[in-house]
A and B are shown apart, each in its own frame.
Chain A
Amino acid sequence: MKVPRNLDSGMVKKNGFRQQLLLLSILLLAGIFFSLSRGRYSNDPTAVAKVFLYQLGFLDQIDPVMESIVFHVRLPRILASVIIGGMLSLSGAIYQSVFRNPLVSPDLLGVSSGAAVGAAGAILLGGSLLTRQMMAFTGGLLAVTLATTIPRLFRNYSNMMLVLSGIIVGGFMSSVLGIMKFVAEEQTELSSIVFWQMGSVANVLRQEILGILPVFVAAATVLILLSWRINILSFGEVEARTIGVNTRRVRGIVIVCASLLTASAVSISGNIGWIGLVIPHLGRLMIGTDNTRLLPLTLVMGGLFMLIIDTLARTLSTVEIPLSILIGFIGAPLYGYLLYKQRIKVE
């Protein structure tokens, strides 16, 4: 898309956008490489470089343990954190635009609590890790389905109604989770549930990444293609309909995609707050409100942010630090700072 030069229209911004996106992508790749070289076995970046050179056929011999660690231990985890960060940030930006509220996060419609119920159910039934992921995903989607069905019963399709039913579903799911925790075996099951809720990508499997990858690619593609229509949604129902936009359809597609992203992310990593709230704000500060620019930027930035957080989580101390704790410490002050910078009109 070209914008003519005589239009000072975002021309400057547009170049700024390309540069920022490129810069962030380079940072992300560099971050991935750096993160690959950090860990308990070896902290040597050249060792990682050797593994890749070996793969490309430039070296004849390398440390097989290092190769295995890079490909089987570190890489899956790093990819998972990047994808999950991107997913949560993107769906956060979407939710904020659709609900015209900058204070909304992607678990507004009860995805996280639904997923937690699913995961806790799997833990209680003694299912495998993969079962746990499947059930978390199902639970998350079930919650969103419930939350979007309630407004139909009332024949009220306003955003407010949707938000309220999200609160109803979220509250209900929390109670179900409460019962599950109550009946759980204290030493084993309860601690598993609690640990799952604190969020982690430490034990992520290759199959899990392959499982969410198609969802990620499909949903993100649709959302980025629809990004301009999402702009229109954020001007409100009447405004959108009088320019011929089928608001219910666009909003429906967009919410389904964003919820698929959140449910996929949460099903693998457990509850990870803040990212979906903070990163879109950071993005708006950098590039402005226009979703055609904001969405791609947010995607990359979310991946980078999560990569940094998870790398800190596994290298800061000898014990894993749960992600939600780290993110809270970093995300909350950052969010405060962003609100101050943006001077959002909080009414």
Chain B
Amino acid sequence: MKIALNQVSFSYDGSRRIFDDVDLVVESGEVVCILGPNGIGKTTLLHCMTDLLRPSRGTVTIDDQNIDTLTPLEVARVVGYVPQLLQTSFDYTVLEYVVTGRAPWLGIFEKPGEEAYLKAQEALEKLEIRHLAHKPYTRLSGGELQQVSIARAITQEARFILMDEPTAHLDYGNQLKILRMVRELAGQGYGIVMTTHNPDQAIMLEGKVAVFDRHSRFSFGAWDQILTDKVLSEIYNVPLKLLEVAGHSRKVCIPPDLE
């Protein structure tokens, strides 16, 4: 399966463009990292891919079917979304939350039954967080919240999972844990699109990269073709260098000294 954005432009008010003519394709088993400065429209782009927002121009297609012709239910059976932060004032348990991922597969008056709870449980096991099942959702740490939210997308049986800055608010160890999880999920055939502020994550995941620079210019391709010193420096408005570290085969993004 694949999701494609064709010449997609977006504007909230009709006059000021957020982004213009974006072309992007993600297929099953691929990881796409979206990089770009704050406020450039990375989240907006994700929202266009799951029908939360409608592009002002261009089309989004799922397996060559225009997303506009699909019902929200049909979209939800293919695309899962992991928001940056989620909050609720009530103490639902983790399992009660994760099982809501079954919603696109149940009738409007239907309640989750045995099968739905089993699927939720499986998702928790898959992410090795079964022990959290009965923990009140409001008492999870940032890293746990991310994992639980991903578990919901898996319960949803979505083929694609869109993640909005899945590593924000996480400590370094947990960031790497989420990256490993992303890598594993892609290996199992999920298509993953994630936004991030850390170019090293895109390099480590070795997938495709979509980049907005400071002037909203967009480019998309394999990581090693798109990410260059010049492009990185353009995105963040600081001179950045990609260097190979002795003893590692992989490149690392190096910022300049702080004068």
Contact = CB atoms under 8 A, between A and B. Distances in A.
Interface of A: 1-4, 7-10, 97, 100-102, 225-229, 231-232, 234-236, 238-239, 241-246, 250, 284, 288-290, 292, 344-345
17 contacts: A9-B121, A10-B134, A227-B111, A228-B112, A232-B103, A234-B88, A234-B92, A238-B52, A242-B80, A243-B101, A244-B71, A244-B76, A245-B72, A284-B91, A289-B91, A289-B96, A292-B111
A239 B96 contact: no
Interface string B199-216: 000000000000000000
Nearest to B112: A228
Contacts of A228: 106, 110-112
Interface of B: 50-52, 71-77, 79-81, 83, 86-93, 95-97, 100-101, 103-104, 106, 108-114, 117-118, 121, 133-134, 138, 152, 156
A290 B100 CA distance: 11
Contacts of A229: 103, 108
B111 A242 contact: no
Contacts of B52: 238, 241-242
Given A236-B86, A236-B87, A239-B83, A231 B113 contact: no
Contact of A242 (B81, B92, B96, B133): B81
B76 A242 contact: yes
A237 to B, nearest CB: 9
Contacts of A345: 89, 138
Nearest to A102: B89
A239 B101 CA distance: 10
A100 to B, nearest CB: 5
B125 to A, nearest CB: 11
Nearest to B92: A289
The 9 closest A-B pairs by CB, nearest first: A244-B76, A242-B81, A244-B104, A244-B73, A243-B103, A289-B90, A225-B109, A228-B111, A244-B72
A226 B107 CA distance: 10
Contacts of B83: 238-239, 242
Q: Which of A97, A227, A239, A244 gathers most chain B CB within 10 Å? A: A244
Given A1-B111, A236-B87, A231 B96 contact: yes
Contacts of B133: 8-9
Contact of A238 (B81, B88, B111): B81
A2 B113 contact: yes
A284 B90 contact: yes
A102 B92 CA distance: 13
A236 B117 CA distance: 21
B50 A7 contact: no
Nearest to B164: A238
A56 to B, nearest CB: 38
B89 A101 contact: yes
A100 B92 CA distance: 12
Contact of A7 (B71, B75, B121): B121
Given A228-B111, A231-B100, A235-B86, A241 B72 contact: yes
B27 to A, nearest CB: 20
A228 B109 CA distance: 8
Nearest to B149: A239
A288 B111 CA distance: 17
Given A2-B114, A242-B80, A244-B75, A236 B156 contact: no
A235 B88 contact: yes
Given A97-B90, A246-B72, A4 B103 contact: no
A290 B96 contact: yes
A162 B112 CA distance: 30
B48 to A, nearest CB: 13
A236 B83 CA distance: 11
A218 to B, nearest CB: 14
Contacts of A235: 86, 88, 92, 97, 100
B95 A9 contact: yes
B114 A3 contact: yes
B80 A100 contact: no
Contact of B114 (A4, A101, A236): A4
A127 B112 CA distance: 50
Given A3-B114, A244-B76, A288 B88 contact: no
